[in-house]
Amino acid sequence: MKITQHIAQAKDTLVSFEVLPPLKGKSINSIYDHLDPLMEFKPSWINVTYHRSESMFKKKADGTFEKVEVRKRPGTVGICAAIMNHYQVDAVPHIICGGFNMRETEDALIDLNFLGIDNVLALRGDAPKNEASFDAEPGGHNYAIDLLKQINNLNSGIYLDEDIQNGGKTDFCIGVAGYPEKHFEAPNPEIDLRYLKAKVDAGAGYIMTQMFFDNQKFFAFVEACRKAGINVPIIPGLKPLTSKKQLSVLPRIFHVDLPTELSNEIMKCKNDSECEQVGTEWLIQQSKELKEYGVPVLHYYTLGKPKVVRDVVKQVF
């Protein structure tokens, strides 16, 4: 079922989770082990992230090095199919522009359609590690909106090769990313919002946000979206803060601010277990306030911390 239908039919706040594909070589059981403790909350869907390949140097037998492209976390499409089959719950694959040309993207979308997957989250992706800026693949997309338009075309039966006129259409519900604290490359929040509105005007059915730790930033973002004429559901993305290290890692990687009160409490902790307690309590309060505000869904980035997310959701639902 489409995310937009889940939301339209909901009588109360929904819950959903996001998982990462396991590192290459691990079995699908690692995904089930991760999700099993969370399934009692009857999530409306599970998102599965997509990871582009990275350039690595591998030593050859003669001692010289060769550059190889390695995808450390493959399997997004297969994991989505496995999750749907195993739990009878909708799975939402993330589809990225980075590392793919349009033909590869078209083939992947056809696979998803054959698997009965109704939803995709259309994203640009980030620049590869050690590269300063995002560059599209030759024959690929520069921005998420271009990917979204390709998916829309498939939904209308328009394939890349104009001579293909077999009448086959997909019917994907397309979500896009939004940033309460602005996307880090955007020159200012107004311009970022203009591009977000363009994605919605091009057919995005809902917005899923980057994580944030200060609800006031989310509320201001929703207000700005509504003022700009963005009327689709906005789903908050939530993550527990669980270690001192994250005080510097999260701002660096995800370009989010951490509130002073939360940072101070974390700095006082003697170990990660104390940090987890503080992070859990913070996320419970954040979630309760968002639920009260009337968000359609609470979406949790589980990122290796299913137990913490479980403790939070138990207190909120």
Of 253 and 267, CB closest to ligand FAD: 253
Distance of closest approach, residue 124 Cβ to ligand FAD, in angstroms:
3
- Cα 71 to the chain's mean position, in Å? 18
Which window, 44-52, 225-233, 263-271, 289-297, contacts ligand FAD (CB under 6 A)? 44-52
Single out the residue of 90, 118, 181, 192 in contact with ligand FAD (rule: CB under 6 A).
192
Closest by CA position to 299, among listed 229, 174, 169, 210: 210
* Residue 136 lies near ligand FAD (rule: CB under 6 A): no
Of 167 and 229, CB closest to ligand FAD: 229
- What residues have CB less than 8 Å from 44, skipping those under 6 apart? 3, 6, 10, 14, 15, 16, 89, 90, 297
C-alpha–C-alpha distance, residues 79 and 28, integer Å: 7
Residues within window 52-81 making contact with ligand FAD, judged by CB under 6 A: 52
Which window, 3-11, 46-54, 214-222, 287-295, contacts ligand FAD (CB under 6 A)? 46-54
Single out the residue of 15, 109, 117, 145 in contact with ligand FAD (rule: CB under 6 A).
145
Single out the residue of 35, 92, 177, 230 in contact with ligand FAD (rule: CB under 6 A).
177
* Residue 50 lies near ligand FAD (rule: CB under 6 A): yes
The tokens for 1 are 């079922």
Single out the residue of 91, 96, 204, 313 in contact with ligand FAD (rule: CB under 6 A).
96
Which window, 32-40, 109-117, 142-150, 306-314, contacts ligand FAD (CB under 6 A)? 142-150
149 burial via Cβ count (<10 Å: 0-12, 13-18, 19+): middle
Single out the residue of 22, 43, 125, 236 in contact with ligand FAD (rule: CB under 6 A).
125
* Residue 126 lies near ligand FAD (rule: CB under 6 A): yes
In one-letter notation, the amino acid at residue 295 is V
Q: Applying CB under 6 A, what is the total number of residues that bind ligand FAD?
A: 21
Residue that is written with structure tokens 């170990």 in the block: 271
Core vs surface per residue 154-167: b (16+ CB within 10 A) or e: bbeeebeeeeeeee
C-alpha–C-alpha distance, residues 178 and 36, integer Å: 29
The tokens for 26 are 């691990």
Q: Considering all CA atoms of the chain, what is the largest pairwise distance in Å, rounded to the nearest integer?
A: 65
* Residue 186 lies near ligand FAD (rule: CB under 6 A): yes
Residues 57 and 84: beta-carbon distance below 8 Å: no
* Residue 181 lies near ligand FAD (rule: CB under 6 A): no
Binding site for ligand FAD (CB under 6 A): 49-50, 52, 94, 96, 123-126, 143-145, 177, 183, 185-186, 192, 195, 208, 210, 237
